[in-house]
Amino acid sequence: MEAKNTADTLGSGFLSRMALNDNKAGMEGLDRDKINKIIMEASKGSKFYENELKKEQQVNQRIGRMMKQAAQITEQQLQSAQAQVDKLTAVLERGRELGRVIVHVDMDAFYAAVEMRDRPELKEKPMAVGSWSMLSTSNYHARKFGVRAAMPGFIAKKLCPNLIIAPLNFDKYRAVSLEVREIFAEYDENFLAVSLDEAYLDVTDHLVQRLSWPDSMRTHLLRSAGDGERKESVEQPAPDDLSPVLFEDSPTASASPCDAVGAVVFGTSAEEAVREMRFRIEQKTALTASAGIAPNMMLAKVCSDKNKPNGQYRIPAERQTVMDFIQDLPIRKVPGIGKVTEKMLSSLGITTCAELRQKGALLSLLFSETSWHHFLQISLGLGSTNVERDGERKSMSTERTFAEMSDAEEQYGLCRGLCRDLSQELQKEGLKGKTVTVKLKNVNFEVKTRALTLSSVVSTEEEIFAAAKDLLKAEIDHVSPHPLKLRLMGVRLSGFVSTDDKKPLQKSIIGFLRTGQSESGGATQHISLEHGVTNVSPEKSSNLMHPDALCNRPAANLRLAEQLSTGQTNQEVSKPESGPKRNPESFFQRAHRLRLQANQQEFPGVSDTGHVLLNPVRTECFTCPVCFREQESMDLEMFNRHVDKCLSGSSNAPEEKGGSVDAVGDCVEGEGSWQVHLSNASQDVTDQRKGSSKPHGASGPNSTHPQANVDRQPVGPAAPSGRLFKRTEKREPSLCVPGPSGSGFQDPSRRAAASHTIVTEAHGCHGDDRKSTSVGETPAEAARLDPRNPNLVCPVCSVPQDTTDLVVFNRHVDVCLSQGILQELGQHVTVSKPSNPSCTRVKGFSREFPRSDSTSRASDSRGKHKREGSPPPPAPHKRAKAVGSLNTIDKFFR
DNA sequence: GCGGATCAG
DNA sequence: ATGGCTGATCCGC
C-alpha cells in the first residue's frame, strides 16, 4: 500500500516529540514556528534533547518497518481483512449504547486557577504552577506564549520572560477538589474521579428524577456582591471578581431566567443540569469548569475539550449525530492516542477518525488485534458507558530525581531510603507484593528497569531493600570499574496478593457491606467456592471469586472474536438485567435491596431534594464477619485489615509459628526464596555499547526481527510460522549477588528447597493446603467450614447444624445473616456511601507534580449498569499507544 | 515473568 | 538553576 509518509505535520525537521503540542486548549492562533524555534534553541545540545532524538529515531524505524510491511500487503489480503472489519463493525454497531448520559467535567487550568483566585495580583499576568524544572499547568495568558504543562520552567521562561512561576499547593488543590466533588455527588453519587480536577458522571438517573422536580429545586442563588472573603457556603461573595478566569459564556449568562434578586433557575435538560452543575461549582469555588455531555465516556471526554475553557458541549444520543461529530475529529484528540500513535497513523495517511474508519482493513493487518479493535471503536464513536473505577491497585512505586550521583555507597543509601518510603506507603494500605522493580535513569536520560519476583510477598523496608539492593548491585557490577552515573532512581512493588488469594474474600466482604451488587454470587456460592472446590490453584480459585466470575459474566475480556463466532451481540450480553434472570436474587443483592429500601425510609427526603448528602465524617460501623465484633469508627481500609488479621488468626494468636519465622527470615535475608533470575547479559552489552551514539544499532534486537505478523490473526503468509529465526539464547542464569550475609545460595536446588519450605510452611499454617491460600481462615474456622466435618456450625448464630449438606447449611447461614443485616440496617443505614474523597494519600518525597488521585472510589464498589459483553479493554497497537492509569482506555470502551 | 515503551494527568 | 512522578497497559521475548 502506498500511504505516503506525510512527513511530519508538526513542521520542518522538528522533533515531533519536542515541538509545541497545540493539542491543549488555549493554544490557538499563536506563532508556532517562533515558539518551536525558541524551544529548540533552549534544548539543543542537552542530554535530554539527545535522548529525545534517539527515541524519535526509534519511532521512525518502527514506522519504517510498518511501512515496509504495508507495502507487501496484497489486494486479496486487504479484501479479506475488510470482510473481517465489516463483520466486527456490524457487531459493534448492534451493541451501540445510546441510552446513558455521560458527563465529563474538567476544571479549567485547575492549579493555576486556584493560585490566581487566591493571589489576585496574578490574575492578569502570565503565570504557571510548578518549579524551575517542571511546570504542572499554566494559565491562559501564559499559554499564549506557548507555556504549557509538562514544560520545564526554565524553557517557559525563555518563551515568556515575565512568566511567574508559583509553587504547588497540593493540600489546597485537594481541598478545592473536595468541594467540587460534593457537587458531583449530587448528580451522580458514584461519579468517577480521574484526578483532582477531572471526573466522569453518569447523570442518566439524575435526569429522570429531575424531570419531576419543581422549579425551586432547580433554583440556585447567585452570590451577592460584597466581601471579598470567599465562604464555603453557596451564597454570599462577589460575583465580579468571582472567577479568575471569567469568560463570557459563563453558566450564569446562558442559564435560563435570571432574576434580578440573584437566583438562577435551571431547566430539566441534560445541558441545563450540567450548566447548573458548573454554575454551582463556580459559585462555590470561584473556579470554572468545562464539561462534555455524550452517550459514552470517550465522546464526553472529547466534548469537554471542545468549548474549553468555561464551556460545555453536548452530542445528542443519536447515531448519526455521533458519526457526524466523529468524522473530522483529529485522532490525537481521542484519549489514549498519544504522539507516537499519532505519528504512526499519520504516516499511513490517517489524521481524522473518518480516515481511521476508512483504513480499518489496513490497520487490522498492521496492528495487533487489541489495537485495531480499539481503532475501530474510536472510528465508530463508541466508548464505555460504564462509569466505574477499575479494580484495585496493581503496583506502588516511588522514584526521585537528583543531581548526578556516581558513588555506589550513596546509591545504596538512596535505594534504602526509597525502600523505606515505599514500605511506609505500602503499610498504610496494608499491601504486600512479590515483585520488586528498580528503575534507573542515567545522566543521559536512558532508563532501565530491573525486576525480581520473590516466592513470597514482602512489604517491609528490609525485605524490599534486600531485593532492590541486589538489583542495583547487578547494574553497578555491570559497568564496573566505571561508576553508574545516575540522575534518577525508583523502586516499585507489584504482584500484590490482593488480587490473588487475599483480596477476594476481602473484596466480597467490602462489596457486601457496601453495595452487595457485584458480589451477586451470594453467600452460598461464596462458601462453596471457597471450600468446596479444592482442585484449583490459588489463582484459579481467586478468579472464581472475582465478581465477574460470580456473576457468571463473560468478564471484561470477552473477546470480540468470540462474539463474532457466536453471533452474540453486545446488546445481548451487556444487559443481563433486562434479560431473563440468570440467578435468583442472591443474598447480597437482597441485602443491598433491603438496605436501599431502608435508606429510603430513613431519608424520605432524599429523592425529593435530589441532594445526596455527603457525610465525610460519618463513622461507619461494620461487623467483622470473622470475630463478629462490631468495629467502630474505622475506615474501610482499617476494617479490612482487621478482617485480614482475624482471618489469618493473628488477631487472637499473634504469630508464634516457631520454626517458620526462622525459615521466612532466612529466605528473605539470604534470597533463598527468590526465583532464579535471568539477567540479560547480551542486552546489557548492547546498552552499554551505545556509547558511540550510533543511532541504528541502538534499536536493538527489534531491528533484526522480521517481526512481521507474529502477533496477528492468521492473515498474512507469515502468520503461522511466527518468528522466522530465533536467536540462540545466550542468557545465563546469573546467580545473583550474595545476600547481605554474604552467603547467598548459589545452588539452585537449595534455592528450590528453601522456596518450598516457605510454601509448605505457609500452607501448613492452615493445616490443609488445599484451601488455605485463598481464604486464610483460622484453623477453627476451617474446621467449622470443612464439608467433611459432620458438625457444621453456623458462623452467625454459632449453633451446630445437623446437616452435612452444604446447600442446606448455606441456606441456614443466609437466613441468619440476613437477620443480622436487617438489624444492622436499623442502626447504620448508610454503609453504602463510604468513600470519603478527602483521604488522598500522599506518598514519596517532595511532591511537585500532578498525581492521579486514587481516592474517591478506589474501593468503591459500584455495580450499576454493568455491561457484560462489551469489547475487551481496547488497546494500543504494538507497543505503541497505551492507557493511562486512571484514565485508561478500557474505561472508554468497556 | 522481564524490560522497554506509550499514555495520562 | 536546567527536562517529574505515579500508575497502568501492551508487546515481544
What DSSP line would sit under A786-799, residue for residue? -TT-S-EE-TTT-P
**A519 beta carbon < 7 A from strand B?**
no
Distance, CA of A82 to CA of A90 (rounded, Å): 12
Distance, CA of A569 to CA of A401 (rounded, Å): 50
**A431 beta carbon < 7 A from strand C?**
no
More reliable by pLDDT, A372 or A586: A372
Residue A339, pLDDT > 50, answer: yes
Q: What is the pLDDT of residue A25?
A: 60
Q: What is the pLDDT of residue A14?
A: 77
Strand partners, A449: A439
Span CA (A798) to C1' (B9), Å: 51
Chain A residues 270-309 with Cβ under 7 Å of strand B are 301
Going across the sheet that includes A447-458, the strands are A395-405, A486-496, A433-442, A447-458
Please report, for the domain that includes residue A401, its CATH number: 3.30.1490.100
- From the list A591, A627, A646, the residue with the least C-alpha distance to A819 is A591
Q: What is the pLDDT of residue A31?
A: 85
**A850 beta carbon < 7 A from strand C?**
yes
Residue A4, pLDDT > 70, answer: no
Q: What is the pLDDT of residue A801?
A: 61
Chain A residues 830-849 with Cβ under 7 Å of strand B are 849
Indicate whether A205 and A277 sit together in one domain.
Answer: yes
pLDDT in tens, A270-295: 999 999 999 999 999 999 999 999 99
pLDDT in tens, A148-159: 999 999 999 999
Indicate whether A385 and A444 sit together in one domain.
Answer: no
Strand partners, A494: A395, A435
Measured CA to C1', the nucleotide nearest A449 is B3
Q: What is the pLDDT of residue A56?
A: 97
Chain A residues 695-724 with Cβ under 7 Å of strand C are 701-702, 705, 707, 710-711, 723
Q: What is the pLDDT of residue A210?
A: 98
Q: Give the model's confidence band at A891: pLDDT under 50 very low, under 70 low, under 90 confident, else very high.
A: very low
Residue A805, pLDDT > 80, answer: no
- From the list A419, A489, A110, A148, the residue with the least C-alpha distance to A290 is A110
**Does some domain include residue A476?**
yes
**A679 beta carbon < 7 A from strand B?**
yes
- Ranked by mean pLDDT, the top range of A9-23, A338-352, A870-884 is A338-352
Q: What is the pLDDT of residue A368?
A: 98
Count Cβ atoms within 10 A of the Cβ of residue A5 and give its class: 0-12 exposed, 13-18 middle, 19 or more buried.
middle
Q: What is the pLDDT of residue A250?
A: 53
Measured CA to C1', the nucleotide nearest A888 is C8
Q: How many helices (H) and strands (E) does chain A have?
A: 34, 18
Domain boundary among A274, A298, A317: A317
* Mean per-residue pLDDT, A487-508: 69
**A154 beta carbon < 7 A from strand C?**
yes
Indicate whether A332 and A437 sit together in one domain.
Answer: no
Distance, CA of A540 to CA of A559 (rounded, Å): 19
Residue whose CA is minimally distant from C3 C1': A152
Chain A residues 114-143 with Cβ under 7 Å of strand C are 132-134, 136
Alpha helices (H) in A429-537, listed in sequence order? 461-479, 503-514, 522-527
Residue A635, pLDDT > 60, answer: no
Please tell me whether residue A117 adopts helix, strand or coil conformation: helix
Nucleotides of C under 7 A from a protein CB: 1-13
Q: Is the peptide bond before A251 cis (omega within 30 degrees of 0)?
A: no
Indicate whether A293 and A347 sit together in one domain.
Answer: no
- From the list A401, A413, A384, the residue with the least C-alpha distance to A439 is A401
C-alpha cell at A112: 493555576
Dihedral over alpha carbons A504, A508, A510, A511 (to 10 degrees): 130
More reliable by pLDDT, A407 or A531: A407
Residue A121, pLDDT > 90, answer: yes
Residue-by-residue DSSP string for A561-577: HHHHHHT--HHHHH-TT
Distance, CA of A446 to CA of A438 (rounded, Å): 14
Q: What is the pLDDT of residue A15?
A: 83
Q: Which long-range contacts (CB under 8 A, 24 or more apart) does A657-660 make?
A: A657/A761, A657/A765, A659/A761, A660/A761, A660/A764, A660/A765
More reliable by pLDDT, A261 or A129: A129
Span CA (A480) to C1' (B3), Å: 22
Computed over its alpha carbons, how large is the radius of gyration of chain A? 29
Q: What is the pLDDT of residue A24?
A: 61
Q: What is the pLDDT of residue A670?
A: 28
Span CA (A195) to C1' (C8), Å: 15
Q: How many domains does chain A fold into?
A: 3
Q: Is the peptide bond before A481 cis (omega within 30 degrees of 0)?
A: yes
Backbone angles phi, psi at A130, to 5 degrees: 150, -140
Q: What is the pLDDT of residue A21?
A: 77
Indicate whether A313 and A363 sit together in one domain.
Answer: no
Q: Give the model's confidence band at A817: pLDDT under 50 very low, under 70 low, under 90 confident, else very high.
A: very low
Q: What is the pLDDT of residue A777?
A: 29
C-alpha cell at A166: 508559583
* Mean per-residue pLDDT, A472-481: 96
Q: Give the model's confidence band at A138: pLDDT under 50 very low, under 70 low, under 90 confident, else very high.
A: very high
Residues of the domain holding A473: 395-496
Q: What is the pLDDT of residue A32?
A: 87
Instruction: Give the percent of chain A with pLDDT over 70.
Output: 49
* Mean per-residue pLDDT, A779-803: 44
Domain boundary among A346, A371, A390: A390
Amino acid identity, position A711: D
**A686 beta carbon < 7 A from strand C?**
no
Nucleotides of B under 7 A from a protein CB: 1-9
Span CA (A449) to C1' (B4), Å: 8
Distance, CA of A1 to CA of A190 (rounded, Å): 48
Chain A residues 863-882 with Cβ under 7 Å of strand C are 873, 875-879, 882
Measured CA to C1', the nucleotide nearest A702 is C12
Degrees to nearest 5, angle at CA A456 with A454 and A457? 95
Chain A residues 353-412 with Cβ under 7 Å of strand B are none
Span CA (A420) to C1' (C8), Å: 23
C-alpha cell at A361: 482493513
C-alpha cell at A862: 459500584
**Does some domain include residue A445?**
yes
Indicate whether A208 and A329 sit together in one domain.
Answer: no
**Does some domain include residue A284?**
yes
- From the list A334, A205, A278, the residue with the least C-alpha distance to A607 is A205
Q: What is the pLDDT of residue A798?
A: 53
pTM over the 0.85 mark:
no
For A723, other C-beta atoms within 10 Å of its C-beta total 12
**Does some domain include residue A217?**
yes
More reliable by pLDDT, A877 or A351: A351
Distance, CA of A300 to CA of A101 (rounded, Å): 9
**Does some domain include residue A272?**
yes
Measured CA to C1', the nucleotide nearest A401 is C4
- From the list A553, A551, A552, A560, the residue with the least C-alpha distance to A871 is A560
Span CA (A131) to C1' (C7), Å: 23
Measured CA to C1', the nucleotide nearest A883 is B7
Q: What is the pLDDT of residue A478?
A: 96
Largest separation between any pair of C-alpha atoms in chain A: 85
C-alpha cell at A748: 539452585
- From the list A377, A372, A349, the residue with the least C-alpha distance to A361 is A372
**A695 beta carbon < 7 A from strand B?**
no
Degrees to nearest 5, angle at CA A773 with A769 and A777? 90
The least confident of A219-233, A235-249, A403-417, A470-484 is A235-249
Under a CB-based contact definition with an 8 Å cutoff, are residues A468 and A490 in contact? no
First-to-last CA distance in chain A? 32
**Does some domain include residue A544?**
no
Q: What is the pLDDT of residue A13?
A: 60
**A657 beta carbon < 7 A from strand B?**
no
The least confident of A333-342, A419-428, A632-641, A855-864 is A855-864
* Mean per-residue pLDDT, A669-685: 28
Cα-Cα-Cα-Cα dihedral sign, residues A301, A304, A307, A312: positive
Measured CA to C1', the nucleotide nearest A879 is C11
Please tell me whether residue A783 adopts helix, strand or coil conformation: helix
- From the list A695, A723, A730, A698, the residue with the least C-alpha distance to A709 is A723
Indicate whether A137 and A280 sit together in one domain.
Answer: yes
Q: What is the pLDDT of residue A224?
A: 61
**Helix crossing, A110-118 with A170-187: angle to 10°?**
110
Please tell me whether residue A279 adopts helix, strand or coil conformation: helix
Residue A448, pLDDT > 80, answer: yes
Indicate whether A399 and A474 sit together in one domain.
Answer: yes
Please report, for the domain that includes residue A127, its CATH number: 3.30.70.270
**Does some domain include residue A472?**
yes
Going across the sheet that includes A127-130, the strands are A135-138, A127-130, A164-166
* Mean per-residue pLDDT, A371-393: 95
* Mean per-residue pLDDT, A855-873: 31
Indicate whether A134 and A170 sit together in one domain.
Answer: yes
Q: What is the pLDDT of residue A155?
A: 97
Span CA (A240) to C1' (C11), Å: 54
**A158 beta carbon < 7 A from strand C?**
no
Distance, CA of A185 to CA of A526 (rounded, Å): 32
Q: What is the pLDDT of residue A802?
A: 59
pLDDT in tens, A829-859: 222 222 332 322 222 222 223 333 333 333 3
Distance, CA of A886 to CA of A853 (rounded, Å): 8
Span CA (A331) to C1' (C7), Å: 24
Instruction: Give the percent of chain A with pLDDT over 90.
Output: 47
Domain boundary among A390, A424, A441: A390
**A516 beta carbon < 7 A from strand B?**
no
Indicate whether A160 and A78 sit together in one domain.
Answer: no
Q: State the average pLDDT for chain A.
A: 64
Count Cβ atoms within 10 A of the Cβ of residue A613 and give its class: 0-12 exposed, 13-18 middle, 19 or more buried.
middle
Residue whose CA is minimally distant from B3 C1': A449
**Does some domain include residue A296?**
yes
Please report, for the domain that includes residue A385, its CATH number: 1.10.150.810
**Helix crossing, A659-669 with A461-479: angle to 10°?**
30
**CA distances in angstroms from A647 to A33, A435, A643, A679, A814, listed in the order given:** 64, 24, 6, 38, 20
Q: What is the pLDDT of residue A84?
A: 98
Q: What is the pLDDT of residue A834?
A: 29
- Ranked by mean pLDDT, the top range of A11-15, A37-41, A664-668, A723-727 is A37-41
**A337 beta carbon < 7 A from strand B?**
yes
Indicate whether A345 and A270 sit together in one domain.
Answer: no
Indicate whether A347 and A444 sit together in one domain.
Answer: no
Residue-by-residue DSSP string for A196-211: TTEEEEE-HHHHHHHH
C-alpha cell at A810: 448455606
**A851 beta carbon < 7 A from strand B?**
yes
pLDDT in tens, A53-94: 999 999 999 999 999 999 999 999 999 999 999 999 999 999
Q: What is the pLDDT of residue A668?
A: 28
The least confident of A298-312, A319-333, A409-423, A705-719 is A705-719
Residue A520, pLDDT > 70, answer: no
Residue A746, pLDDT > 60, answer: no
* Mean per-residue pLDDT, A3-24: 60
- From the list A254, A252, A242, the residue with the least C-alpha distance to A287 is A242
Residue A459, pLDDT > 90, answer: yes
Count Cβ atoms within 10 A of the Cβ of residue A829 and give its class: 0-12 exposed, 13-18 middle, 19 or more buried.
middle
Degrees to nearest 5, angle at CA A835 with A292 and A196? 45
Q: Which residues of A762-785 are buried (b: 16+ CB within 10 A; e: fewer)?
A: bbebbeeeebbbbbbbbeebbebb
Chain A residues 390-419 with Cβ under 7 Å of strand C are 390, 392-401, 403
